Amino acid sequence: MKVEVAIVGAGPAGLLLGHLLRSKGVDCIIVERRSPDYVLSRIRAGVLETVTTDLMRQLGVDARLNADGMIEEGFNLADGDRVVRIDIAALTGRHVTVYGQTELTRDLMEAAPDRGLPIVYDATDVALHDLESGEPAITYRKDGETHRIQADFIAGCDGFHGVSRRAIPDGRAYEREYPFGWLGILADVPPCHPELIYANGPRGFALASMRSATRSRYYIQVPLTSALEDWPEERLWDELAARFDPISDRGVKRGPALEVSIAPLRSYVFETMRHGRLFLAGDAAHIVPPTGAKGLNLAASDVAYLAEALIGWYRNGDEAGLTGYEARALARIWKAERFSWYLTKLMHRFPEDGAFEHRMQSAELDYVAGSRAMQTAIAENYVGLPL
Ligand code: APR
Ligand code: PHB
């Protein structure tokens, strides 16, 4: 089989890239290791920048996003009883949209057949070949047979644990691991507050978020040694109530969990996003801690750049876009890495920190509370820097 662009991975990065390329007539295919159900069972963050919603609109896959997405004009940073509202609408003239990544993934998956975007699910032993030649290829196994796809280009959109990054011999990784994880719970109960609240306190970080007027998403900071068994639902709700009852509009409503999971936090950038005819995008090249919800939005900006570069090449043989892709993407990636790291440092209790560092966090939030300049800096990063 021969296509113009072969995409590895059907997460948000691969799906968005596939749709962007198809919308300009580029022939492509996506090869995904998991099943559609598995892909749709992953619960991730839910805050979209306009960069991301604009792409969904441009692709015409925005019907559910328009109907169900919640426009958020502000969010809150709290420590103890103090709540500092960041009025992103007043400070930037923009907003973010709360819409689950799982729903965005579903919209892109469901639109694929009509747009002539084939997706091969349950592909095993995916391997990349001849990346330095003009005819790179992907092989995979499915239903007991080995398949080979010849392409002009390969897009590695296969996430942090995929094969694409490992096919690049000369990359350099920059990494920071954090000494805690986030325990998340999703439940069909009304959110405690109309806007997100990121809260720091002696018991650690907690986040009150939502998916809709009737579905809440909460997280708390837990030690890396914590296991799900340590957190019976009642204990988790007690903890959330202790954090958010004093500072939220409605207080924490409890209900049976639809999903509970623990994820570690990491900052990671791999600085070679191109090797021959292979280009990396999304989590395959970088990870941010979820504080600030930049993961999906960065995947979206990567593929916007990459699609533009590939389309330029197909339209008029323009190599400049492809050559410039990495530098253009990295400039935005490092700024989002900085912001996610900053918000993580400001809002979490680090086990190694003492009283001095806690005073520093408190002084920083004091400064934010009193400075429109600081609030603007936080707001413009939160809504997303321009493409
Ligand atoms: N072959 C094919 N597919 C693979 C392989 C492989 N060897 N390895 C992983 N994949 C698939 C995964 O099953 C997943 O569906 O690649 C996809 C990668 O998707 P994500 O991990 O969602 O990464 P990305 O699309 O870059 O999205 C970035 O979305 O998933 C979140 O946390 C992520 O917020 C970040 C954003
Ligand atoms: C979420 O709703 O899952 C969410 C929101 C904001 C974040 C991270 C996660 O920063």
Q: Is the CB of 79 under 6 A from ligand 1?
A: no
Q: Which atom of ligand 1 is nearest to the CA of 12?
A: 25
Residue of 52, 70, 102, 209 to mutate, ligand 2, most atoms within 8 A of C-beta: 209
Q: Which of 52, 99, 205, 217 to mutate to test the pocket of ligand 2 (most atoms within 8 A of CB)?
A: 217
Contact 4, 314 (CB under 8 A): yes
**187 CA → ligand 2 middle, Å:** 14
To the question of pTM greater than 0.95 for the whole model, the response is yes
Q: Is 348 in the pocket of ligand 1 (CB under 6 A)?
A: no
Q: Which residue has the least CA distance to atom 10 on ligand 1?
A: 158
| Helix ranges restricted to H, 216-259 | 233-244
Atom of ligand 1 nearest to the CA of 302: 26
The residue contributing the CA closest to ligand 2 atom 4 is 45
Helix axes 12-23, 50-58, angle to 10 degrees: 40
Instruction: From 217, 218, 210, select the one nearest 194 (Cα to Cα).
Output: 210
pLDDT for the residue numbered 278: 98
State the pLDDT at residue 257.
97
Mutation test of ligand 1: which of 33, 109, 288 has the most ligand atoms closer than 8 Å to its C-beta? 33
In this prediction, residue 43 carries a pLDDT of 85
Residues of the chain falling short of pLDDT 50: none
- Nearest alpha carbon to residue 155 among 164, 143, 146: 164
Ligand nearest to C-alpha 48 = 2
CA–CA distances in Å: residue 242 to residues 155, 237, 251, 262: 46, 8, 10, 20
Give the closest residue (by CA) to ligand 2 atom 7.
293
Residue 153: strand, helix, or coil: strand
pLDDT tens per residue across span 50-66: 999 999 999 999 999 99
16, 57, 65, 118 from 60: Cα distances, Å: 12, 5, 10, 18
Residues with CB under 6 A from ligand 2: 45-47, 196, 207, 209, 217, 290-293
Using DSSP's 3-state secondary structure scheme, residue 129 falls into strand
Cα(261) to ligand 2 centroid in Å equals 14
- Pick the atom of ligand 2 nearest to 43's CA: 3
Ligand 1 binding pocket includes 163 (Cβ within 6 Å): yes
Q: Which atom of ligand 1 is nearest to the CA of 282?
A: 26
The residue whose CB lies within 8 Å of the most ligand 1 atoms, and thus the one to mutate among 52, 158, 296, 303, is 158
User: Which CATH architecture group holds 2-43+101-175+268-344?
Assistant: 3-Layer(bba) Sandwich (3.50)
Give the residue extent of every domain in the chain: 2-43+101-175+268-344
Neighbouring CB atoms inside 10 A of 256's CB total: 8
| Centre of ligand 1 from the C-alpha of residue 14, in Å | 8
The predicted structure's pLDDT at residue 304: 98
| pLDDT tens-digit readout, 144-160 | 999 999 999 999 999 99
